[in-house]
Amino acid sequence: MSAAVSAPLRSTDPAVFGRVGVLLGGTSSEREVSLDSGRNVLQALQARGVDAVAIDGIPALARALAAGTVDRVFNILHGHNGGGEDGVVQGLLEAFGVPYTGSPVLGSALSMDKIRTKQVWLAVGLPTPQYRRVTAADVHANAAELGLPVVVKPANEGSSVGISRVTDDAGLDEAVALAARYDGQLLMEQMVVGDELTVAILGDTALPSIRIVPKGQWYDYNAKYIAEDTQYLCPGLDGEDEAEIGRIALAAFRAAGCRGWGRVDVMRDRASGAFYLLEVNTAPGMTSHSLVPKAAAQAGIGFEELVWRVLEQTLVTADGESTHA
């Protein structure tokens, strides 16, 4: 286990946190997942004696901030447009000077936009599948340029919402129609055929990778949150490959302006063994099926301790610097 993960807790006194608002629910397409994650986080904090309360959505958060009833916020509000991963919540909390978990305004906003995240990664030399912005009018031309198979998805959604894997030209129009149900631009990228992996980030440490083996062909919404037959192999790789995916994931996380904790999704090409970055999740799921708790457990960190370690990143150090900064 790395020194960063095995380091002692910065505090064991729940009183240092004051009253913690667990921000959950909201109105995004990921509301139900967020409610589930939030309940788990709330229970974990309360089990360790933290004065924690649930706050459902951004309007309720604004009221709590205006009333001065919370000292810091554990953000487990997934998604955007009423979710907590697009920088809006972070900006609100910054305005009130209230510490919060996870990435700042820029890292949150950038990571929610898969197209701009890919632009940043490509600019700094990190590997990610080739892509195009697409519309219904140009989807066939762009697919011809990239070469089938491709993946079509909304640029601003998570939890595999609105995603299609297209292996022939006939499926392109339907894929665009599905993705277009959600706002924002549409992204088409080359499909990487191989192993689907994810790397959780905690502070400055990449936790053991997880290789995801769904019973069906794809790791979709059902496989993520409902099915009980998805296999999670942790660590997902061995030796130098495991070290390399950790390095790439941490570099991708930092390049996107992220901090605190999160999760980086990666594909490994079956033919070449090369890694390709897909996206960053800045407020990952904390459900019974979620991947960050699984990776933490492999590193010897139980769920309650994981939640505590994420929250204590909001504390200010002796020299006046926030561990969140």
Say which residues have a Cβ less than 8 Å from residue 175's Cβ, sequence separation at least 6.
Answer: 139, 152, 164, 166
pLDDT digits (tens, 9 = 90+) for 199-254: 999 999 999 999 999 776 655 555 455 556 788 999 999 999 999 999 999 999 99
What pLDDT is recorded for position 317?
58
Between residues 77 and 317, the one the model is more confident about: 77
Backbone angles phi, psi at 301, to 5 degrees: -110, 115
Q: Active-site residue numbers?
A: 30, 159, 225, 263, 265, 279, 281, 285
Please provide the average confidence, as pLDDT, over all residues in the chain.
90
Band of residue 10 on the pLDDT scale cut at 50, 70, 90: very high
- Predicted confidence at residue 325, as pLDDT, reads 40
Please tell me which residue, 224 or 196, carries the higher pLDDT value: 196
Buried b (16+ CB within 10 A) or exposed e, 259-292: bbbbbbbbbbeeeeeebbbbbbbbbbbbbebbbb
Q: How confident is the model at residue 318 (pLDDT cuts 50, 70, 90)?
A: very low
What pLDDT, on the 0 to 100 scale, is given for residue 145?
A: 95
User: Cα(67)–Cα(285) distance, rounded to whole angstroms?
Assistant: 29
Q: Sketch out the chain's domains with CATH numbers.
A: 3-102 (3.40.50.20), 111-127+193-298 (3.30.470.20), 131-190 (3.30.1490.20)
Query: 97-153, pLDDT tens digit by residue?
Result: 999 999 999 999 999 889 999 999 999 999 999 999 998 899 999 999 999 999 998
Residue 157 binned pLDDT confidence (cut-offs 50, 70, 90): low
Q: Which residues contact 2 (CB under 8 A, 6 or more apart)?
A: 205, 299
Lowest mean pLDDT among 57-66, 157-166, 168-177, 265-274: 157-166
Q: Supply the Cα-derived Rg of the chain in whole angstroms.
A: 19
Q: Please give the model's pTM, rounded to 2 decimal places.
A: 0.89
Tokens of 233: 């192999």
The set of residues, in sequence order, having a beta carbon less than 8 Å from that of 109 and lying 6+ positions away, is 86, 87
| pLDDT at residue 3 in the model | 46
Asked if the model's pLDDT at residue 187 lies above 80, the reply is yes
Mean pLDDT of 290-306: 96
